[in-house]
A and B are shown apart, each in its own frame.
Chain A
Amino acid sequence: MSIVDRQSPLDGTERAAIADLIAHYPTARAAAIDALKYVQKRRRYVADNTLQEVAHLLGLSAAELDEVATFYNLIYRKPVGERVILLCDSITCWMTGRDALARHIEQTIGIKSGETSADDRFTLLPIVCLGHCDHAPAMMVGDVLHGDVDTAKLDEILHIKGDDAR
């Protein structure tokens, strides 16, 4: 999906899905986070025009929805790569070497925290404690949780081989 596709108007499926999410709550606004997460899953991030359309479906103004969207760190209002790496930076993971993993990602993929790789494959973001401290350091890639991560495991998870790492 290109960036342009990710900014295309909502299709019928998406509109129906958002209507279904709204039906789960006493108010349409309550479905705001579900709706944002839903469109983000399909489009990687929530573009301005997407936000406006979702807001309209929820009976909100763009500002009202953006207040919510920009508050929560798992809603992306800027383009992200194909795979978002959420690398825990809370205490136990910090103690057990998350900074080394971040450095490894920088060396192999070339991105620092908050950046997206030039090939649009990866975005690295910090995340608060993932509740996996007994397997620190931990991270999530997409929806998948990984524990006891070391550089070798990281390469494996991200399919980084020696050759095409950069």
Chain B
Amino acid sequence: MSAIPTKPLTRNITRGEIPLDIASYERADGYVAVRDTLGKVDPAAIVQMITDSGLGGCGGGGFPTGRKWQLMPTRAQRPGPRYFVVNADEMEPGTFKDRLLLEGDPHQMIEGIILSAYAVQADVAFIFVRGEYVTAIERLNIAIAQAAAAGLLGANIFGSGYNLSIQVHGGAGRYICGEETALLNSLEGKRAIPRSKPPFPQINGLWGCPTIVNNVETVCNVPHIVRYGTDWYRGLGANGAVGTKIYGVSGRVNRPGTFELPMGTSMRAMIDDCAGGMKDGYRLRAVLPGGASTGFLPEDQMDVPMTFADMAKRGTRLGTGTAIVLDDRTCPVGFIANLQQFFARESCGWCAPCRDGLPWVERTLKSIETGTGVARDLDILTEMTDNLGPGRTFCALAPGAMASLQSGLKYFGDVFRQHIDSRACPWT
């Protein structure tokens, strides 16, 4: 056995290098968990192990993965096809962690799928990769072919009686495909409109069959938890959190990038220690902790541990864990307007507030930014943060959009008023 890793997700990844082939991957302790598990361990025990590990969804929600799996009906309850789907539709602005895992260690992805699909007794797995991730798609397909040739995929894997095939599906754009039920519609060759829940995908998923959808990073954790155990996994975290997390940062920092760190590392530690702090001439004003649909964390709160719970306490969310830095030389109104432009364009068009409200928000912000805003706009924007908020719209897209607007109005209200009063953007 190789040394027990402290950065399990990225241990095989060297930037700029091609990923390990199956032989090298197996030499690095790869697929051991699969060989030790299939046909030897009760699938329910794997589900229990993942539940006990405290692994949460790394796509941004943080929902406990084990609990998600437990909602899957048993084979006896629901005979017929069952699906395991990996959400590799990474499109959250400012987020670039799944690309690292897909391109950097595709066999880790495959191994995670085999173990996860086995746990929920799915016989077909799909990896939904956004179409722009051309390299990731190529590398996954190579890894799948190698794994199939090695007998890790196909019928009756290792004589376990368990069958699994994996299919890579390349998307054709649209952020909404990252919403798990919209993703299922897209996989079925339909418009990517989210589905109402309940029923959840576990009950009425892909083609109506029991289905699990998990994020890339979530699934990549599974082989390590199975291999090294829940105690090991829980011990990886910091500040009371469990496991590691691929954090990242972009914007005017010296070394933007991704970093696998103990879950619960502080924002300041990541930005200063890993990313080398702010570039010369730029001062940090606030960060979006985990993508475009998280709210601002102001500069005085940089010591907060990056966990789902701690971020929620500060009125924002951990999201994908890849932070975007707003610096002092960027107009916050323009910054938020850009975010809203994204959300307005990526609205699927299904529900009225999102479809018709977001373009209104975008136009209002652009109007303010270009000096044509009126005083009433701030009232309208404030009201929008309520009316496009959680529970009001069909899915989480518009509430995600409102996170930056709401916190932006809170922290940078004076900047908005300055634009309106002076009829110009102070930054231009």
A residues adjacent to B (C-beta < 8 A): 24-27, 29-34, 36-37, 58, 67-68, 71-75, 86, 89-92, 94-96, 127-136, 140, 143, 145
**How many chain B residues touch A (Cβ–Cβ < 8 Å)?**
54
Decide: B95 and A129 in contact? CB cutoff 8 A: yes
- B252 smallest CB distance to A (angstroms): 7
Instruction: Kindly state the separation between the CA atoms of A3 and B414 in the bound complex, as whole angstroms.
Output: 54
Indicate which residue in B81, B93, B256 contacts A128 across the interface (CB closer than 8 Å): B93
Please, which residues of chain A bring their CB within 8 A of the CB of B221?
Answer: none
Q: Whose C-beta in chain B lies nearest to the C-beta of A86?
A: B132
- Per-residue interface assignment for chain B, residues 171 to 190, with 1 indicating a CB less than 8 Å from any chain A CB and 0 otherwise: 11111000000000011111
In residues 334-352 of chain B, which contact A (Cβ within 8 Å)? 334-335, 338-339, 341-342, 345-346, 348
Q: Once the chains bind, are A34 and B170 in contact (CB under 8 Å)?
A: yes
On whether the beta carbons of B338 and A90 are closer than 8 Å, the reply is yes
Q: Is A91 within 8 A of B189, CB to CB?
A: no
B250 near A133 (CB under 8 angstroms)? Answer: yes
Q: How far is the CB of B196 from chain A (nearest CB, A)?
A: 19
Alpha-carbon gap, A133 to B95, bound state (A): 7
Q: Tell me if B250 and A68 are in contact (CB < 8 A).
A: no
Q: Are A134 and B252 in contact (CB under 8 A)?
A: no
Other A-B contacts than A91-B324, A128-B175, 16 sampled, CB-CB below 8 A, are A27-B207, A30-B188, A33-B186, A33-B189, A71-B191, A73-B173, A74-B132, A90-B94, A90-B342, A129-B94, A130-B132, A131-B99, A132-B99, A133-B93, A133-B96, A134-B256
Please pick, from B174, B288, B324, the residue contacting A71 in the complex, using a CB distance under 8 A: B174
Query: What 0/1 pattern do residues 31 to 66 of B give for CB contact below 8 A with A?
Result: 000000000000000000000000000000000000
B92 CB–A CB distance under 8 Å: yes
Taking CB atoms, residues of chain A closer than 8 Å to B292 are 90-91, 129
Asked if residues A94 and B95 are in contact (CB atoms below 8 Å), the reply is no
CB distance from A94 to the nearest CB of B (A): 5
From B95, B170, B171, B172, contact of A131 by CB (8 A) = B95
Contact sample, A vs B, 14 pairs, CB 8 Å cutoff = A31-B189, A37-B170, A71-B174, A72-B173, A73-B172, A75-B172, A91-B94, A95-B251, A129-B342, A131-B90, A131-B96, A131-B99, A131-B133, A133-B256
**Most A Cβ at <10 Å: residue of B98, B167, B172, B292:** B172
Name A94's contact: one of B167, B191, B327, B338 (CB within 8 Å).
B338
Using CB atoms, name the residue of chain A closest to B346: A128
Q: Min CB distance, A40 to chain B, in Å?
A: 9
